[in-house]
Amino acid sequence: MKTYLTDFVEDARAMERFDTLGVSAVLQLESALDRERAFGQVLPEAAACTADCKMKAKEKYQSDVWLEIEHLNEGIVPEDPRSSSVALCDTATGAAAQCETDPVENIFEQNLKIKFYISSGSTSPSSHSGDEADPVKIVDSAHLPVHTPTIKRKECHSSILFPTKSKSHRFFLTSFTAPTKCHQCTSLMVGLIRQGCACDACGFSCHTTCVEKAPRACPVPSQQKKGALCLDAQEGIGTAYEGHVWIPKKAGLKKGWQRALAIVCDFKLFLYNMDEEKDSKPNVVVSQVIDMRDGAFSVSSVWPSDFIPARRKEMPRMFKVTASQLSAPSNQYSVPILADSENDKSEWVGVLSDLHKMLRKSHSRDRSVYVLKEAYDSSLPLIKTTQTAAIIEIIRVGDMKKIHQIELIPHGQMVAVISGRSHHVQLFPMSALDGRKTDIHKLAETKGCQTMTSGTVCQGAHTCLCVARKSQVFCYELFQSKKISHRKFKELQIPTNVQWMAIFSEELCVGFQSGFLRYPLRREGIPYRMLHSHDPTLSFIAHQPMDALCAIEISSIEYLLCFKSIGIYTDSRGLRSRPIELMWPATPTYCCYNAPYLSVYSENAVDIFNVNSMDWIQTVPLKKVRPLNSEGSLNILLSETIRLIYFKNKMTYGDELVFPETSDNRQKQMVRHLHSKRRYSFRVPRGKGGPPAGP
């Protein structure tokens, strides 16, 4: 009985505890529902407040960055307002360092430390947003070590850098050290520096123009990532084939073969030299480019009748790719290529032939601008010693001293030349071109000058000649009456040695290492910076010193500044005017401009760009060619047979040079055309080759 009562009491207490627990749970649920209702009422106001706070924080970030830039220019180093973002990057870098990485991977992770953003809408820096609705930002990391971010990551990285939840890319503007293809369009990212972008997390690499087209999810799913070989036949974009081959060495095939990476991309054959070491990477500089759109393009096997100096046992593995060089059918340019095996050779010939047929069926428009012609008999001794030229006449001028530069001054009816060992400037009247004896006017203080330029000021009322000697520029006003006279009206001091000059809109534009300045000629005033120091997207030029090649006045409000590594578009204030930069396939030696076409000369070719559309429209496969005038229309080809080459513009009516039909080149003489001051033709003397050509 006692035991029964005890059990009953314990059961009653348990029921009481259960009832208490149930009441408590109910009260908690009701409290949670009340909080949810209250939160639902306050949520719109809270969201608005949060958005407002984010906007204020973003504006403060931008203001702090620009203040920091101004303080840095004044020599003040404030506290870094971006320490939090750098700290986050450092945390990710430290986490990645916990896994085993190779040296390239370490450099890749160090590039997480960033300074500036570039966006297509503005050149001002802005904070990165993970919101996929926001425009994609590109981090400018050009001041950091270059790298190739297309790295095979190890499995341990995926747990740290690739979380399960998708995130947006964080793209870096990157300088690749080896040929790299875009993961979006598969085309090569051509250029010497800053060729494209790479995501710091997943390694997705693409052109800056392909960033907005790239999949937003990071990492990119394998099914959305285009393969290494993908050609859009309609647009002519993408990589169709690639592999390793052998090409002749720089000194010629007699010296042996050079290992190369060959890539068929955008209907062009790209050849990249490689070192002889086993695991060497190809050079980022393009060795040769052959455009399949060339009218004379062909690919075929090599036969003993081709007279190519190769071993007989190599013939079965050899093929040649041919393109036009001069307008005459007999003057074509062929590149012998050696494959690793006969099967590889058959594949290369088949692929190139099929792609060329595909290109012809698609009726792709020939974008070439220039047709090459031989302007004078290559056997004449005069051609071999030519240093500079202008399209006037081939005559004997002066005292037969070596001429380094010639400048026509039509407004002053005179010709200026830099000649002799001492590099003096001498002036001749135009009447000297008719063979008459004339006095020579020498500018004494120009001894040792390296370049000159001429133009007009005061709306054409005065003729001006500017001469550069090291870091000094002398500005003269020229007068022509019975005798030539001059007056020096200005002397300019340039920050460093002058590398290029031209007169734009009554201003003298001077190019020097990593910079361009515009000086007013007819009034006093400070020079205008053509690269503004407050534009952070241009700061990489100061961090990577590069030679100035030329500047182009595209319009009154836009310029193209051509450096040895890259081309930059700026406005009249010196700020970036276009987010995209002009890329050189190979290291340039000269730049010439004949509106709207820019000719970029390198060791193995001349690449033609349209400066308005920024299209790479033609490659002329001429080795060792040098321009003789600023327009690039006259060129000297320093091959085994030295030739004077004229670039005929197919887009213009008529020519500066007219070539008559004659079979005897040696009897040709260049004379002035009677109906135009700028047109000249060849004439054959009477009794030696028939009647003279038309006027």
Whole-number pLDDT of residue 267: 92
- Burial bucket for residue 408 (CB in 10 Å: 0-12, 13-18, 19+): middle
672 vs 198 pLDDT, higher one: 198
Altogether, the residues listed in the chain come to a count of 695
Interval 106-134 mean pLDDT: 34
Q: Measure the CA–CA gap between 202 and 168, rounded to whole angstroms.
A: 10
Q: Which of 35-49, 135-149, 636-650 has the highest mean pLDDT?
A: 636-650
Which residues sit opposite 626 in a β-bridge?
636
Is the pLDDT at 632 greater than 50, yes or no? yes
Which residues sit opposite 563 in a β-bridge?
548
Find the farthest-apart pair of alpha carbons in the chain and give their distance in angstroms, rounded. 154
Q: Which of 376-385, 420-429, 661-670 has the highest mean pLDDT?
A: 420-429
Token pair of 41 as six digits: 């009422």
562 vs 311 pLDDT, higher one: 562
307 vs 35 pLDDT, higher one: 307
Q: Measure the CA–CA gap between 560 and 516, rounded to whole angstroms.
A: 11
Q: Terminal CA-to-CA distance of the chain, rounded, Å?
A: 143
Q: Measure the CA–CA gap between 637 and 621, rounded to whole angstroms.
A: 11
Q: What is the DSSP letter of 141?
A: -
Whole-number pLDDT of residue 158: 30
Whole-number pLDDT of residue 413: 83
Is the pLDDT at 425 greater than 70, yes or no? yes
* Sign of the alpha-carbon torsion through 631, 637, 638, 642: negative
Residue 677 confidence class, pLDDT cut points 50, 70, 90: very low
Interval 490-515 mean pLDDT: 95
Residue 387 confidence class, pLDDT cut points 50, 70, 90: low
pLDDT tens per residue across span 340-364: 999 999 999 999 999 999 988 887 7
Q: Measure the CA–CA gap between 669 and 430, rounded to whole angstroms.
A: 19
CB count in 10 Å sphere of residue 280: 12
Whole-number pLDDT of residue 489: 93
Q: What is the DSSP letter of 625?
A: E
Q: How far is CA 351 from CA 267, 291, 334, 586, in A?
A: 11, 15, 18, 25
Question: Which of 416, 413, 483 is closest to 446 using CA atoms?
Answer: 416
Is the pLDDT at 395 greater than 50, yes or no? no
Whole-number pLDDT of residue 206: 93
Interval 13-41 mean pLDDT: 54
Interval 45-53 mean pLDDT: 50
Work out the mean pLDDT of the chain and round it to a whole number: 74
Residue 378 confidence class, pLDDT cut points 50, 70, 90: low
% of the chain surpassing 90 pLDDT: 39
**Backbone dihedral region for residue 267 (phi beyond 0: left; psi -120 to 50: alpha; all else: beta):** left
Token pair of 609 as six digits: 């760009």
Whole-number pLDDT of residue 98: 37
Is the pLDDT at 17 greater than 60, yes or no? no
Token pair of 310 as six digits: 């190769």
Instruction: List the 424-429 sheet strands across, edge first.
Output: 403-409, 414-419, 424-429, 441-443
Q: Rounded to 5 degrees, what are φ and ψ at 572?
A: -65, -20
Residue 513 confidence class, pLDDT cut points 50, 70, 90: very high
Q: Measure the CA–CA gap between 9 and 294, rounded to whole angstroms.
A: 104
Q: Give the CB-side neighbour count of residue 357, counting CA atoms within 13 A.
A: 6
Q: Measure the CA–CA gap between 239 and 410, rounded to whole angstroms.
A: 49
9 vs 511 pLDDT, higher one: 511
Whole-number pLDDT of residue 303: 83
Q: Measure the CA–CA gap between 428 and 414, rounded to whole angstroms.
A: 5
Residue 659 confidence class, pLDDT cut points 50, 70, 90: low
Residue 320 confidence class, pLDDT cut points 50, 70, 90: very high
Q: Rounded to 5 degrees, what are φ and ψ at 265?
A: -140, 135
